[in-house]
Amino acid sequence: MGSYDGLGEVGGKVVLVRSDLNVPLDGSRITDDGRVRASVPTITALTDAGARVAVLAHLGRPKGEPDERYSLRPVAERLGELLGAEVAFATDTVGDSARATVAGLADGQVVVLENVRFNAGETSKDDAERGAFADDLAALAGTDGAFVSDGFGVVHRKQASVYDLAQRLPHAMGGLVAAEVDVLKRLTESPERPFVVVLGGSKVSDKLGVIDNLLGKADTLVIGGGMLFTFLKAQGHEVGKSLLEDDQVETCREYLRRAEESGVQLLLPADVVVDTAFPSGDREPQPSVVAASEIPGDSLGLDIGPEAARAFADAVRGARTVFWNGPMGVFEVEAFAEGTRAVAQALTDVTSGGGLTVVGGGDSAAAVRSLGFDDDAFGHISTGGGASLEYLEGKQLPGLTVLEDA
């Protein structure tokens, strides 16, 4: 029988694997299976070593009770297709179905247990309630079972299947989590320079800690997406009907001052693509390009403009290390996708030139795939947007610290 790093011999043993299978669904159809594909190598390594693998995961935000909209059944089916083997599905997490299905596994077989968040104990703030659920999960593994943490997208959560379970079983870091941590250490501890950070998405407030921490580490900080308008406001410009966080204007002003003082280039767009309404329904987009300092009062910015796209792409191409989190505009609508496309293309050029490029999960990962880019064109696509950001903020992540004695 084979072994798995940190656990010794796993053949014949039940190994609970916490994966991140939180994929977008359209009904029961998976619209982006990136996280399922990312879970395959660790599961395969364990089954090849003869382990009996029970996969734990969540999907969406059910309210601590079963909700068919968030069932993992379609994910289990897709996992089976990717593994090229039958994957069993338990209709509960720690109930009769889970116990019977896990008990019936042969060496090298896999079961996906139903959504852990169908149980209130998973996300409870009460240590005892969370611990009781973790006890039930651990019981599935039996006396010689083990736990592998491979869901990087949840390691910033102090939840039963992430944190408490690791305290109850012999545990190891899965290959996906190990790869994520390795890449993020390279970004924060010893990035090859020039180091460029590209931040987008809707809100400045979502990225405050990252900007705070990386202002002292990056050579260039590129700002796009909805958050750019709060920076423009901080510079004294009017932003029309664009997304604006009034309570963050002063914070952005402080970031601009700090960047200038520390010699970090903080790059904002010279032009933006605007429309008089947010894209919706049957209305065709009516995009126009205006200077970032001259957004009309009846318009809202929905993408960076062509001049900004070229400047952002040039900044990226001049880097040896790039971290990107957040699209540059409403990339789901073709009229407002060019800024995001330009940044993604520039990242692929850095990758092909031997530089390190990291796409920081979430909307950024969805954007590059929807725009037709191959995952292999980037150095690393993170599976955990929120976890990546918290790591880059310098925070301690509970799901990682609990593994440190492994």
DSSP states of 160-206: IIIIIGGGTS-EEE-HHHHHHHHHHHHHHH-PPSSEEEEE-SS-SGG
Per the listing, tokens 């993992």 go with 72
Residues tagged in the binding site annotation for substrate: 20-22, 35, 58-61, 117, 157
CB 65 within 8 A of CB 120: yes
Beta bridge partners, 386, equal: none
In angstroms, the CA 321 to CA 356 distance is 5
In angstroms, the CA 338 to CA 135 distance is 50
CB 113 within 8 A of CB 93: yes
125 is catalytic: no
Look at residue 259 and give its three-state secondary structure.
Answer: helix
Catalytic residue, candidates 203, 258, 317, 320? 203
399 is catalytic: no
Which residues have CB under 8 Å from 213's CB, separation 6+? Answer: 188, 392, 393, 394
Could you give the maximum distance between any two Cα atoms of the chain, in Å?
69
Residues tagged in the binding site annotation for ATP: 207, 301, 332, 361-364
Catalytic residue, candidates 35, 78, 158, 168? 35
Taking the CA atoms of residue 211, residue 212, residue 218 and residue 222 in that order, the dihedral angle to the nearest 10 degrees is 20
Q: Of the candidates 181, 203, 222, which has an alpha carbon nearest to the alpha carbon of residue 342?
A: 222
Q: Residue 42 corresponds to which tokens in the numbers above? A: 């660790």
Catalytic residue, candidates 145, 200, 362, 384? 362
384 is catalytic: no
37 is catalytic: no
Residues tagged in the binding site annotation: 20-22, 35, 58-61, 117, 157, 207, 301, 332, 361-364
Helices and strands: H and E segment counts in the chain: 13, 19
Residues that are catalytic: 35, 203, 362, 386
